[in-house]
């Protein structure tokens, strides 16, 4: 193992994995404003997990907004799409008043 131990706590991850949460606590998750996006060419393969989460939320009938864009896992990608993320959450906060 690594000098400081395993950086990934598998038990914690399994308890807090977004897919598991959507299945286990659909009623609670329905109350959330959910937005996520991902680049099609994410360096870490996050697009696969993001697409799986999108499918799971759809299957559970949980409202969300998901976008898969051209791009990778870079600062440029983040800067191109941060505005949409802020707009989504601004609307969610405004409607929660």
38 assigned to some structural domain: yes
16 assigned to some structural domain: no
Domain assignment of residue 87, given as a range: 30-95
22 assigned to some structural domain: no
Note the pLDDT of residue 5: 60
Q: What is the DSSP string of the chain?
A: --TT--SS-HHHHHHH-HHHHHHHTHHHHTTS--EEEEETT-TT-HHHHHHHHHHHHHHTT---EEEEES--SSHHHHHHHHHHHHHHHHHHHHHT-
Residues lower than pLDDT 70 in the chain: 1-7
The total of structural domains in the chain comes to 1
21 assigned to some structural domain: no
The structure's pTM equals 0.82
């Amino acid at each position: 193992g690594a000098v400081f131990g395993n950086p990934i706590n598998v038990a914690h991850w399994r308890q807090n994995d977004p897919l598991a949460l959507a299945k286990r606590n659909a009623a609670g998750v329905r109350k959330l404003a959910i937005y996520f996006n991902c680049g099609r060419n994410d360096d870490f393969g996050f697009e696969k997990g993001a697409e799986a989460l999108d499918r799971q939320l759809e299957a559970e009938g949980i409202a969300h907004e998901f976008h898969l864009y051209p791009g990778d896992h870079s600062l440029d990608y983040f800067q191109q799409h941060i505005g949409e993320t802020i707009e989504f959450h601004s609307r969610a906060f405004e409607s929660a008043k």
